Amino acid sequence: MPRKRKVKAREGVHRQKVEESLANLGKEVVDDITKARPPRLKIPSRSTSNIIYDETNRYFVLGPHYGVRSAGSLKQVKKFAQLMCTADFCRDLIRSGKFATLREMYYTAEGWDAGPFRDQGESNVILEDLEAAFGLKRESLGLTPEEDGASVYGKLVVNEGGVTIDATKAGRAGYTIPPTIDDVDFIRCRAKRVIAIETMGMYHRLVQEKAWKKFDALIVGLKGQAARATRRFLKRAHEELGLPIAIFTDGDPFGFHIAMVIISGSAKLAYINHELAVPDARFIGVTASDIVKYNLPTDKLRELDIARLKQIQKDPRYSNEFWQDEIKRMLELKKKAEQQAFSKYGLSYVVKEYLPEKLGLKG
């Protein structure tokens, strides 16, 4: 039976909660000033020493250490003022129902009383402070990155800004995941699983071969390292639609990393991995064992690849037997392989043979 969800004005409810968080910050600052106290804000430390791999939840989280932004410190007063201006800017975006790019906010700051940022790196750090302080994503604050979203093809119908979109009728590339994916309602889904694909070349191959129909799947093109909105889409598809997530990447350390960021999150975003990571997602990408089993065309590992493999070999996210065996074997083979290597056996081979076996649908 298709999964149906009633539209619940998700966008309005979500924005109201975010605006309340920002309003409470303003009230606390006013309260401090009224009581002749320097306004201050506790911000979780994002230093590497405060980033912990949570064995229970299976993703990186922030530890207990905090820093303080205070208007009572001459060294911090400008940054505190810029943080407040950023919060005010985000509140105005939320109230108006508009969005701005990170670059637009950087230039807007040229007109702030708090003074402009030295560069966009500085404005990004201030925004990260705000995200960490409230456990909110920048997209929830009305700010979006510059890059285009990933694509989804399959039996999924969504409501985005009052417009109903069918992911099988949104053009050859499918439905584009917006940065504001939390404002999108899932109306109907007839898929049974999600297959996330590293390269857009392989994504289009699977769409052309009708893999979405053959496997009852939503096919998601990651465009390399998955953007935050893409990871949030996968998280929501898993939790709200009950769909298992499978990740198909190249057989190299960077393909492994792309998959692991989806599964266990990244250290950089430890403060919001609870909204992005999908610990139950399954890796079905090319392995060292596949290189041997399918006699795939390969490239020689570069020194950079070898160094990266040795690095992830010590990463707690790769501690289980499967990953340790495959990393060791790749180092022994000194070879890597791309998704497209299966084209050696024909353009449709990956859909007819490889994926059915990996998904446990063969036979």
For the annotated catalytic residues, the residue numbers are 107
User: Cα–Cα distances in Å, from 214 out to 36, 70, 207, 330?
Assistant: 67, 58, 10, 31
The bridge status of strand 245-248 relative to strand 282-283 is parallel
DSSP 8-state assignment for residue 337: B
Structure-token pair, residue 25: 């910050």
Crossing angle between the packed helical segments 77-96 and 120-134, to the nearest 10 degrees: 70
One DSSP character per residue, 199-257 reads: -HHHHHHHHHTTHHHHTTEEEEE--SSPPHHHHHHHHHHHHHS---EEEE--BSHHHHH
The bridge status of strand 299-300 relative to strand 175-176 is unpaired
Of the CA atoms within 13 Å of residue 328, those in its CB half-sphere come to: 7
d(CA 189, CA 166): 10
The bridge status of strand 217-221 relative to strand 193-197 is parallel
One DSSP character per residue, 257-282 reads: HHHHHHHH--STTTTTGGGT--TT-E
d(CA 206, CA 16): 39
